[in-house]
Amino acid sequence: MSLWQGWVRALQRQEVGTSLALFRMAVALGSLWLVLSMLPHGRITLLWLRRADGGYREGSSGSWLVEALGGASSTVVWGLVAVGILAGLALLLGLASRLSAFLALQSVLALGWINVHAGGSYDDLATNALWLLVLADSGATLSLSCRLRTGSWTSDRLVSSWPRWLAVLQLVLMYSTSGAQKISHHWVPGGEASALYYILQQPEWQRGDMRWLAEVYPLTQAVTTLTWLWEISSPLLLLVFLARWRGERASQQGARASRLGRLFQRYDLRLGFAAIGIPMHLGTLLLMDVGPFSALSIAYYAALFHPDEVRALVTRVARRPAPG
């Protein structure tokens, strides 16, 4: 019974919606990238339309929504593209955020399932994030809805914190399962650590000629090992959140936090995790053509930090004196 009561108390926790709003805007940009990146070079026609309308495939689209609308015709596909773009823009601005997220979600899902060979893991990352935004009140602040409701772009209205926790769980699951799938001598310490070098030599991923990496091969080995250790250790983030939550409860009750809680409060692993993860994704974006994967991954980092921590960071930056 006490376990159930603790679970209910956890789900009832509320916070200002700043972190969720940042997550919303970053996800909106990623979903817009996903759809807009298909516009150049006739990709939409080739990859998503049926053969009679200029595509290369025939038969069922794989999407129940597309089939219900009459199949992957030019009208249906371009209609879904338009809905995806408009819903993504509305989500970015924070206008009817839940409805915008739902429409963007259905558009991305329908388009992605027309041709599963034309997408990637970023499709799942985008749709999981959009579904969380359907459940979350991400437009409470930093949104057009907030502006229309209060006359200000920001608000202290409280929102449920559990959608942000689920975003963190999604981030941990993505990294930990990725690390588990890389248990080979190409990745793990003590092996060749050659994975990153060979990945960057594959033409389908490259943004340019990467033969110069042979000159810094030991560096690629070090980054390979660091990446694997970082991914496989990501579940520690869950311990950080648990320890900090229990520490807050102990403080409210006038008790002392546990030794583990004090340790995680003193050494915030989230900062180290972000300090590795964000540059890694930016480097991937610079060197490799992986679509919106890096942008969508970075979007989840907004969920790592409590709104009070985000506000404190913004305040420190705003008060920092200008150089010179």
Other CB atoms within a 10 A radius of the CB of residue 90 amount to 21
Predicted pLDDT at 245: 72
Cα angle: 270, vertex 272, 274; to 5 degrees? 65
Q: Where are the beta strands (DSSP E) in the chain?
A: 14-16, 158-160
108, two tokens: 């991305």
127, two tokens: 């749709």
Query: Which string of DSSP letters, residue by residue, matches 198-214?
Result: HHTT-TTTBSS--GGGG
- Rounded Cα distance, 226 and 215, in Å: 19
Q: The whole model's pTM is what?
A: 0.92
Predicted pLDDT at 11: 77
SS3 57: strand
pLDDT by position in tens, the chain (length 324): 567 776 777 778 899 999 999 999 999 999 999 999 999 989 999 999 998 889 988 767 788 999 999 999 999 999 999 999 999 999 999 999 999 999 999 999 999 999 988 888 899 999 999 999 999 999 999 999 999 999 999 999 999 999 999 999 999 999 999 999 999 999 999 999 999 999 999 998 899 999 999 999 999 999 999 999 999 999 999 888 887 777 666 666 666 666 766 777 777 889 999 999 999 999 999 999 999 999 999 999 999 999 999 988 888 777 767 665
The torsion angles phi and psi of 288, rounded to 5 degrees, stand at -130, 150
What is the sign of the dihedral through the CA atoms of 75, 77, 83 and 85? negative
| E strand or H helix at 244 | helix 236-252
CA proximity to 122, closest of 108, 138, 102: 108
Cα-only R_g, the chain: 22
Start-to-end C-alpha separation, the chain: 61
Domain locations along the chain? 16-143+151-160, 171-290
The position carrying tokens 């920001």 is 154
